[in-house]
Amino acid sequence: MAEQGAMAEQESQYVDMQRRFYEELSNARASAAKNSVSLSETTYRKLLSDVLKAKKTAKKEPRDYWLLNRYDVMVIGNKSKLIYPVREGVNAIRFYVPDSELFDVLHEAHLAPCQKKQKGAKKGVVVLPMVFSDFNSRCQVDLIDFQSHPDGEYKFIMVYQDHLTKFVVLKALKSKTAEQVAHNLVDVFTLLGAPSILESDNGREFANKVVTSLKQHWPCLKIVHGKPWHSQSQGSVERANQDIENMLCTWMQDKKLTDGARDYGFHSGIKRTPYEALFGCKAKVGLATSSLPQDVLQDIQTEEQLEEIIESVQTIPREETDRPLQERDSIALEETSYEANILCNLCFNIDNAGKAKVESKLNLEIQAKRMKVDSDKQFLPARLGATVRVPVPHVDRGRGDARNLLAVVMSVTENGFYRLGTAQGVLNQLYARSGFTTCRKELIRIEDVPNQEIPLRSAAIAQSTGSGHGFVRCTCKNKCQTMRCSCVKKKIKCNSKCHSSIPCRNK
């Protein structure tokens, strides 16, 4: 009953949406310019008849040439379709659609779940964009936590991405151990090959464990684990993870989404789909990506039916004109010969794949320069000796502590990273320009910084008026009775952020 109610509600929404669409379309048609084109069912049939007549007429009028320049007719089975004339070098077939079918076409292309997954525009921060020259030179493996939406025993999704082509492979995991990841990576490597460098945002130690487990599964394999790029500045993999989460969310709402949609979508960085960048040809989804219209595909079940439809596809040829030819025509005195290599489909795709990777690298370099320029406009370089504010993470400060730490710019590396010093010592990590804010006045001098390296947490504790640590919360499910509870272990009471609404004895 619940499913029937949901289907009835969806049908009602569809009908209401269709009604509102045609109301808006009618208003738009009424206020449109006179030269705008609208195809009602009557106009569509009349154009179809006029084009057929113009193609068969030997003595053509100016309107006949005008029609044949803009329209053509393709007969598929017993159905005549109005199409845009196919030009030389163009394989795609574009169909004209009457207003009566317009809503169905647009609704199929722009489903509501697809709109729900779109993210708003935001300005990213880029420090050192990733650009690589070859496929499998550097790849990244990460995990998406889906414990809130488990599929039986599978609670995690492994995301494997090549940094050049942006090609992504997904694998479902039961746990997030390095052994599980390595076992699934072997399947990927035997299909696409192993990368030279494997990295992970889960930490270098995790990547090292994965590489060690891979050697146990594949002793002759030799790859190295790379350092993870700064996740805040290198958002390629994070954006891929967000896209995958959105696609899975859409798939759960609408089961029509095709597998591999992440690799079939156009990537603005490489100016092509990841599938094209890797294989050199467009992705095919059976007959759905063919030039046959959807209403014809619905009736095809066997190969014999497909062959019958293909043999019935025809275009009506034009009749020869009855106008006399000129008696004298100019003839070229010189002849130019051109040489061309005829390639089979496999060689053609291999050649295209190589060109696609080179063009992808060039497009990524152009995108990287543009992103770097946009980022530099937001954050101007900080000069040596300038006082800056470094944000302190919530876990490293109490509720009564300052949210920032004052530091001074001591040096700048060639890559644009900053070495900062505080009144307690030099911070032991480099900071991107987006990691701090400059102050108007100089409050700390370089000479006042002690010559010792300290972590940010130690500097935050030194300036704290309390313990220097943020609030502690536990996720216990056994009423917080043992030392396994982080709150009991630290001898503090559980707070409102602990273990949701589960009963507790440590209050």
Pair 206, 179: CB distance under 8 Å: no
Q: Which residues of the chain have pLDDT under 50?
A: 112-125, 228-233, 256-260
- Residue 253: φ, ψ to 5°: -85, -35
Q: Please check whether residues 415 and 434 belong to one and the same domain.
A: yes
- Taking the C-alpha atoms of residue 405 and residue 400, their distance in angstroms, rounded to an integer, is 14
Q: Please, how many CA atoms are within 13 Å of residue 391, restricted to the half-sphere of its CB? A: 9
Task: Spell out the residues 6+ positions from residue 409 whose beta carbon is closer than 8 angstroms to its own.
Answer: 382, 383, 384, 385, 386, 388, 418, 419, 420
Q: Are 463 and 440 in contact (CB under 8 A)?
A: no
Please tell me whether residues 25 and 158 are part of one structural domain. no
Identity of residue 11: E
Residues 143 and 89 in one domain: no
Tokens encoding 123: 């300005």
Please check whether residue 255 lies inside any domain of the structure: yes
In sequence order, which residues have a C-beta less than 8 Å from that of residue 421 and are 6 or more positions away? 407, 408, 410, 427, 444, 446, 449
Residue 432 lies in a domain: yes
Residues 185 and 86 in one domain: no
- Chain Cα centroid distance, residue 426: 39
Alpha-carbon gap, residue 159 to 136, rounded angstroms: 15
CA 486 to chain centre: 39
Q: Do 19 and 61 sit in the same domain of this protein?
A: no
User: In terms of domains, do 238 and 162 share one?
Assistant: yes
Element housing 387 (H / E): strand 387-391
d(CA 265, CA 273): 5
Q: In whole angstroms, what is the distance from residue 239 CA to residue 269 CA?
A: 12
Could you tell me if 22 and 68 lie in one domain? no
| In the block, residue with structure tokens 């650009």 | 131
Residue 16 and residue 74 in one domain: no
Q: Is residue 295 domain-resident? A: no
Q: What is the pLDDT of residue 137?
A: 79
Q: How many CB atoms lie within 10 A of CB 200?
A: 25
Asked whether residue 349 is domain-assigned, the answer is: no
Q: Is 156 contained in some domain?
A: yes
Would residue 257 be called left, alpha or beta, if left means φ above 0 and alpha means ψ between -120 and 50 degrees?
beta
Q: Alpha-carbon distance 406 to 103, whole Å? A: 59
CB contact set of 181 (below 8 Å; sequence gap of 6+): 141, 143, 158, 173, 210, 213
Q: Are 144 and 283 part of one and the same domain?
A: yes
Whole-angstrom Cα distance, residue 370 to residue 126? 10
Whether 155 is in a domain gets the answer: yes
| Token pair of 359 as six digits | 């063009």
Q: With contact defined as beta carbons under 8 Å apart, do 309 and 76 qualify?
A: yes
The reported pLDDT for the residue numbered 162 is 84
The contacts of residue 273 (CB under 8 Å, 6+ apart) are 263, 264, 265, 266, 267, 282, 283
CATH value at residue 152: 3.30.420.10
What is the extent of the structural domain holding 434?
A: 387-463
pLDDT of residue 113: 47
Are residue 74 and residue 167 in the same domain, yes or no? no
pLDDT at residue 14, rounded to an integer: 77
Contact between 264 and 276 under an 8 Å Cβ cutoff? The reply is no
pLDDT value for 237? 60
Nearest-angstrom CA–CA distance, 449 and 441: 17
Domain endpoint, select from 432, 447, 463: 463
Assess whether 160 and 225 both reside in one domain. Answer: yes
Neighbouring residues of 15: CB distance < 8 A, sequence distance ≥ 6: none
Residue 225 lies in a domain: yes
**Number of structural domains found in the chain:** 4
> Over the Cα atoms of the chain, what is R_g?
32
The answer on 262 and 223 residing in a single domain is: yes
pLDDT reported for residue 419: 93
Whether 356 is in a domain gets the answer no
Residue 323 tokens read as 């106008």
DSSP assignments along 13-52, one per residue: HHHHHHHHHHHHHHHHHHHS-TT-----HHHHHHHHHHHH
Verdict on whether the full-model pTM lies above 0.85? no
